[in-house]
Amino acid sequence: MVTSLPGLGLALPAEGTSLSASLRLARLADELGYGAISVAERNDWELFASAAALAQVTQRARIVTAIASVYTRPPALLAMGAATVQDLAAGRFVLGLGSSSEPITRRWMGLAFDRPYTRLAETLAVVPRILAGERTDEDGQTLSTHGFRLGIPTVGHVPIHLASLGPRTAELAGRSADGAILNMVCPDGAGAAARRIRLAAEAAGREAAPEVSLTVPLVLTGAGRSHEAGRRLLAGLAASYAQVEVYRRHLHRLGIGPTADRVARRWRSGDRTGAVAAVDDHLLAAAGAVGTIEDCAARLAAYLDAGLDRVNAYLIPAPDDGGEPNDGLAGAVSDLHAAVAGLMDRRGHRR
């Protein structure tokens, strides 16, 4: 029997797994009743190829890009990718867009990273019109496209969700997008961001509030997996984010800027060990959670209680007591689903 949990998603790619292994996890999550499978793009899987593969191995869960950069793909290419996956997913696709970051855009890809808010806003204005079959005729401040018309029909409406790290992008999502994707924030802060987004939607006269979601790294301990090693692993992830300017500004808004600055200074000096050691409990809590399946389920439920519509679990097994990675992700996907379902039933939470 499928226990449908629209508020629970699975974030891929799973740490250290092949695409084929992660596709098996996606199929399992879909069969269990996870509401969405989100896929990220870093320096591993190509985003739309991965989303297309996920569409082929799932039947119910929505497939979400979290996120597609508005710099590495122009609006026409974003629309082509979205229409392709929407067709393969039979209308279950969600296009998550964001401005990414300076290291990825400028350093990795060799592209200009200028006026990210404007680029995001202009892309959001153009892509829905392309998906609706309009011919482009756009000269914006950060992009230009003329004479392009999508050559395939789009299967229904493709929801567009925006990465909403700061107040301006959160308000833009509230005014103009179908959803907002948060990152690196505790439940209380996530709830406050969700309220800001919904107030922006209300002020814009929108009848339906945008969906608000978040991906949460969960480092799994217990059953021979070391909590201390798990903490170091999550602290390393937090430190890698803190040294990126856009995330450090975000952490300042959350009130943990001094810690983020200290971590970034050590990271950039080459002292990665010192940077990880400088991550305190507040920064660690913004980055994710470390604990047993039950601990992690409680953290996800706290986000739902705070008013988010969906939380995507990014599962990372802590090293075992011998220092070796311990996978067991299929079992974790099943156990987490059961634990979240049980918590929601006991709290009378909506499904």
- How many domains, the chain? 1
Cα dihedral: 106, 108, 111, 116 (round 10): -50
The 10s digit of each residue's pLDDT in 319-329 is 765 544 445 79
For residue 292, pLDDT over 50 is answered with yes
**Exposed e or buried b for every residue in 64-103, given b needs 16+ CB within 10 A?**
bbbbbbbbbbbbbebbbbbbbbbbbbeebbbbbbbbbbee
Residue 264 falls within a domain, yes or no? yes
Residue 141 falls within a domain, yes or no? no
Of 170, 153, 175, 173, nearest in space to 161 by CA: 173
**Separation between Cα atoms, residue 156 and residue 135, nearest integer Å:** 18
The 10s digit of each residue's pLDDT in 100-137 is 999 999 999 999 999 999 999 999 999 999 999 999 99
pTM value surpassing 0.85: yes
The 10s digit of each residue's pLDDT in 218-243 is 999 987 788 999 999 999 999 999 99
**CB-based contacts of 2, cutoff 8 Å, min separation 6:** 31, 32, 33, 60
Residue 124 falls within a domain, yes or no? no
Query: What's the Cα-to-Cα distance from 90 to each of 11, 27, 41, 180, 229, rounded to whole Å?
Result: 20, 16, 22, 22, 42
Residue 72 falls within a domain, yes or no? no
Residue 154 falls within a domain, yes or no? no
Question: 278: domain CATH number?
Answer: 3.20.20.30
pLDDT value at residue 217? 97
Residue 81 falls within a domain, yes or no? no
Structural domain range at position 314: 5-66+164-347
Residue 293 falls within a domain, yes or no? yes
For residue 247, pLDDT over 90 is answered with yes
Residue 240 falls within a domain, yes or no? yes
